[in-house]
Structure 1
Amino acid sequence: MSLTACNPFGDEMVLRSVDWLENFPWRQENGLNINRDKYEINVNVKGFHPEEITIKVVNGFIVVEAYHEEKRDEYGYISKKIVRRFLLPDDCEQEKVESRMTADNILIIRAPREIVKHETVIPVKHEISMKSKL
C-alpha cells in the first residue's frame, strides 16, 4: 500500500490546490508583466481615489505613492499610505509612461519598450598582392 493511498491529501490533491491558488484573481492584483513590447506594473490601490495617487519617474525608477488623510471608519480613525518603487528598464522611455485605474481599483502603469535595432556596416578591406600588380 502506498503512502498516497492512505493519505486523502496526497501530492495530487496538493498540486491541484496550488494550481487553483496560482490562478486565483488576487494573484493578478500586484505584479509585473514584462514582454517584448511593453513593461507593465499592476498595483492594488483599493481604498484610494485617483486624486490621492501620484506616479513619478525618479532616477530610473517608477515611484507610486498613494496617501489619504486620516478618516473616520467603524473602528475609529485611519490613514493610509503606500509607496512602491519599480526599476524602469533602460529600453523604456520615461516620457511615454502612462497609467490608468480599473473599476476594481487596480492601477496599471505601462511603458512601451523600444526595440532598438543597431546596424553596423563593416567595410571589406581588399588586399592587393604584388603579383596582381605585375
Structure 2
Amino acid sequence: MSVYPFFIEYERPRPRRLVDQHFGLGLTPQDYLTILAVPQTTRDYYRPWRNLQAADRDVGSTIKEEKDKFQVNLDVQHFSPEEISVKTADGFLIVEAKHEERQDEHGFISRSFTRKYPLPEGIEADMVMSKLSSDGVLSITAPLKAPPKNSDERIVPIIQTGPVKRQGEEQA
C-alpha cells in the first residue's frame, strides 16, 4: 500500500463549524491551560479538542420540534432588542442582528449575523412569537397546525324518531 493517499488526506480541508459565538470576549482560565498544556507542532495542525471545548461552553442555537410546536432558542446576549429582527419568509424563519462598532475592554468590535431555519410543514407563520429573556436568550415559538381529519371519517348524526322509553316504564 502506498503512503501517498495519507498525504492527500492530510491536506484535505478539515470540517469547520462556528460553535463559539462569543466574539471579542476574553480568554477563560481553561483556555490558558489548554494553550500551555498542548504544544503546537505546526501552524495548521488540526485541533479537534478546541471544537469540543467550545461546544461544551456554547451550545449556539437549539431547535426543538415537538408534536404541537416548533421552538428555536438562540443566544443573542451581545445585542439589544432594537438590533434584532425576526421574520418569516418563503418557508424560513429568519433571525438577523447587527450592532455598529462599539468599544469594549479589548478594543472595538462590531457584530452581525443572519440565521435561517427552515420551517417544518404545518407551521402557522402568522402565529410565530418571540421572547427575549433577561440573560439574552431569544426564544421563538410557532404552533403546529392541527393535522387534518382523516377524509374517510364522517360523523353520522343520530336522528331520534320517537320519545325515549326507559326500561321498566310501562305503557299506559
> Taking structure 2 as the reference length, what is the TM-score of the superposition?
0.53
Kindly, what percent of the aligned residue pairs are identical? Answer: 34
Q: CA RMSD in A?
A: 2.0
- Corresponding position of 1:69: 100
- After TM superposition, list the pairs within 5 Å mapping 1:1-134 onto structure 2: 26-27=58-59, 30-121=61-152
3-state SS in 2 of match to 1:51: helix
Deviation beyond 6 Å, 4+ runs, structure 1: none
CA distance in 2, matches of 1:78, 1:117: 50
Q: Deviations over 1:13-66 (max 9, x none)?
A: xxxxxxxx9xx7854x62111111000000000111111000111110000001
3-state SS in 1 of match to 2:149: coil
Could you tell me which runs of 5 or more consecutive residues in structure 1 were left unpaired when the two chains were aligned: 1-20, 123-134
CA distance in 1, matches of 2:151, 2:138: 41
Alignment-mate amino acid for residue 89 of structure 1: P
Aligned pairs, number? 99
Structure number with greater CO (CA < 8 Å, separation at least 6) is: 1
> Taking structure 1 as the reference length, what is the TM-score of the superposition?
0.67
Could you tell me which runs of 5 or more consecutive residues in structure 2 were left unpaired when the two chains were aligned: 1-52, 154-172
Which is greater in Rg? 2
Alignment-mate amino acid for residue 99 of structure 2: H
